[in-house]
A = this chain, B = another copy of it.
């Protein structure tokens, strides 16, 4: 019931969430190192972000020795869905078909992907 609808997450916050979703939990150092190793973010940036995210109710932590071990407290699905829905609502007035149509027409799509999509739809049809 207490569905926290998250419709927007900044790029960094989302990336951090993704790290946490992948490994269940992680120290600041671990998150920092896992954030696309190419990027040069200061350690404190990540720490601050995690703090802010905790304040916002996205993550939480427990202490282990003198370190904090962070973990996500909102599910990947909840966030993904919230953001996707938000976009579909904003751009396509909630129309799923419009959204998919747009994606199909502006993106490269391989024969394989199309086949996969067909299967998806067939499946969905069955469960109706």
Contacts and interface: CB of A to CB of B under 8 A. Distances in A.
A103 B84 CA distance: 7
A87 B83 contact: yes
Given A96-B109, A109-B96, A111-B128, A88 B117 contact: no
Interface residues of A, number: 35
Q: Is the interface of A mostly helix, strand, loop or mixed?
A: helix
- Lowest 7 A-B CB distances belong to which pairs? A81-B106, A97-B116, A97-B113, A87-B87, A104-B124, A114-B125, A80-B91
Interface of A: 11, 14, 77, 80-81, 83-85, 87-88, 90-91, 96-97, 99-107, 109, 111, 113-114, 116-118, 120-121, 124-125, 128
